[in-house]
Structures are given as C-alpha cells and as structure tokens.
Amino acid sequence: MRKLMIIVFCFISIILTVDVVKAAGNCEIKAVKQMAKILYHEVGGDYTSPASENFFGRLATASVILNHTATSNTSGSLYDKMLNFSNKEYDGYSTYKNKSFDEVVRSDKRGEMLYVSALVLSGKFSFPKEIIYQCSKSILDGDGAHEFTHSANVYFGYSKYATLSNTDVFGNTVSTNAQTLRSLAKSFEQNSYDSYNSDNVCNLVSNINGNSSTGGTPTPSIPDPTTPTTPTTPTNPTTPQQPGSSGTPVPPSAPAPAPNLNYSSLCANEGIKNAAEIVGYVVLLIKWLVPIILIVFGMIDFGKAVISSDEKALSKATSSLIKRIIAGVVVFFVPTLVMAIVNFIGFTKGIEDSSDFATCTKCVMDVLNNCN
C-alpha cells in the first residue's frame, strides 16, 4: 500500500511539474494556416509604392490578428478561436474560413503568408497585446484611439482606454517603440519565401533570430498618410481585401485584457498531441484494469480463506481485500484528482481552460472526452 501511494504521488508530481515549463509562442501548423488565410485576404495585395511597406504591413496585420485571437471570448485553442471569427471581425470570412489553405491563398503568396504567420505565432515578432486596431485613419481618429504606427494607409493602434505595455499575448517582453519593431521586421524580411511550406515552416522559423539593432539596416520609409496607395490585386478568384478596407475589424472601445498564454505549450504540434492521446489511452487502461485486477485477486484469496474455514486466514484475507479495494479506488480516482488540481491551478494562476497545458493534461486524464 505504501509503495502504491509513493507511485501515485510521483505521478501527480510529474504532471504538475509541467506547469513550470513556459513557451514563447505556439507555432501550431493548423493555426498558422488559418492565420495565413486571414492575412492573405487582409493584405495579400502588394503595394505599388512604397514596396518596402509590404512585409512590415503583413507582420503588423498578423500581430493584430493574434491579439484579436487572444482576446476572443470563445473557448478552445488559438486555432479554434480564429475559426470562430465572424464576418464582423473580418469581412467575408465565412466564405473562406473552412476552405483549405491552398484553395484560398495564391500559390506565389503561400510561402510568405505562412512565414509571416509562423513568425507571429511562434513569438518571434509581435506587437504589444493592446494593439487591436487595424483600420483607416478616419476610424482610428473617430474612436479616439491612439496611433501606434501605420503601413501605407493601414493604421495600427490601441484603445483610448488602454495603456500600452511592453508584453505580448504570450507574456514575452516586446518593444513599445514602432521604429524598433520596424527594424526587427526588416531583419526578418527575405528575398524569397518559396522554400516555406506547411510541412517545414514552424521548424524553419524556430531557427531564425531577428535583430532589432542590426547596423546598416534601412528603416522602411513611412509614406504620407494623406496620399493613398494602390494595392496590386492578385488575379485570383479569391481576391484579398485591400489594406484599410471595411474588412478590417473595428475593436470595442474598451477591450478585455489579453489572457495569459505563457504556460506550457504541450500541444504545439500534432505529434505531441497524438502522443498525449496515446498516453491517455494507457492511463484509461490502468484506471480500469488495475482496480479490477486488485479486487479480483483479493476476492480469490478471500474465497480460498472461506473454503479453508481457517479463521486466521479468513481475517487476513478480509484485511487484504479491504486494502486492495481501497487501493483500486485510489487508482481509479487519480485522473479525477489530477484534473481537479489542474483546474485549481488554472483558476489561481489565470491559465485559460483552453491553454495547451490544460488541454493536453485533460487529454491524458480523460482521453474519451477531451482529445478532440
């Protein structure tokens, strides 16, 4: 019995120790592809002038998409939250959100859209979590919002009720200086994105490090906001929105604070999630099989003692059966206990019920109901 309790204690400790592991971001490929589809529709067209704004505009737009995703009231992973956006957030979203990435994004733009989305979702580049405006100058001014920066005629800002912080939605420290972020974006810019695809983009991006203080890196010129620029519309049946169009989301006046997402990213990719599911079935097997085996063997010993009519043996078998029943009950309820502790940690530390730590732990502890 003592050995069993030690094993149970160690098992719970291992599960809870995962809580101290933190992640800079979450480059989950299905979330990357969903963000890339939104990004393509919002700023998929190239500016004819100035061309230097293209890449920064896309990184900035992706950062705002992430901030909107994090503040969404819907439950689930980042991918689930993005999937639950409506046409109110992004114009025409319902027409393409369930289509495949290849159906939505033109072939010559796929690499860059994936690359930009992966940079943002992995935490390599991000805006402060309060930046939720991506709109025209007139909308920004009309709401009394603060301007942070702009790319051509797309303006990025934060609510008049908000105070700009130096953290992103993952809890990483980020600059609040727009020019510093422009330099960082410039260091990530590449001549070609053809090598990036859905199979390798997260791995490739994980090995990239930007440098916001790169010597000699030119700062992209900021165009006169009074002079509109004309995007080159891709010749594709699915035409991306022009920057600054009505398709950009208009945030609420007093947005909810971004949730804390900087806890363990156990489900950052499908491989780890599949592994968690396998472990979950092993736990399920142990949960049912061990108590049954303990009780069955206890009943066999008890039956032998009854048949032998030996009072001493009967007393010993009765005591052994009770201990085995208790041990079986303990083993059966260990997953439930772990789930309760995880929920308590989430409540006290502000971890979302849908965070990767909670999601994967629940997948392991209750595989039949929590491994969708």
The 10s digit of each residue's pLDDT in 166-223 is 999 888 899 999 999 999 999 999 999 999 999 999 999 988 876 644 333 333 333 3
Q: Are 116 and 59 in contact (CB under 8 A)?
A: yes
186 domain residue, yes or no: yes
17 domain residue, yes or no: yes
pLDDT at 89: 84
Rounded to whole angstroms, the Cα distance separating 200 from 179 reads 30
Give residue 8's domain range. Answer: 2-21+268-370
Give the Å distances, CA to CA, from 129 to 67, 119, 190, 295, 370. 6, 16, 26, 54, 29
Q: Give the DSSP H or E segment for 117.
A: helix 110-121
Q: Are 335 and 361 in contact (CB under 8 A)?
A: no
Domain check: are 74 and 143 in the same one? yes
Domain check: are 300 and 170 in the same one? no
Q: Residue 5: pLDDT above 60?
A: no
Give the Å distances, CA to CA, from 67 to 38, 55, 123, 251, 256. 14, 19, 12, 11, 11
* DSSP class of 260: B
307 domain residue, yes or no: yes
Domain check: are 42 and 98 in the same one? yes
Range ranked top by mean pLDDT from 14-18, 62-66, 318-322, 335-339: 62-66
pLDDT at 120: 94
Token representation of residue 220: 């992209």
Q: Are 258 and 63 in contact (CB under 8 A)?
A: no
pLDDT at 270: 61
Q: Are 125 and 26 in contact (CB under 8 A)?
A: no
Token representation of residue 344: 């308590």
323 domain residue, yes or no: yes
Domain check: are 92 and 173 in the same one? yes
Q: What percentage of the chain carries pLDDT values higher than 90?
A: 35
Domain boundary among 232, 259, 282: 232
pLDDT at 219: 32
- Model confidence pTM above 0.85: no
Report the number of distinct structural domains present in the chain: 2
pLDDT at 40: 93
Rounded to whole angstroms, the Cα distance separating 251 from 226 reads 23
**Residue appearing with tokens 């939505």:** 104
Domain check: are 128 and 62 in the same one? yes
* DSSP class of 173: B
Q: Residue 268: pLDDT above 80?
A: no
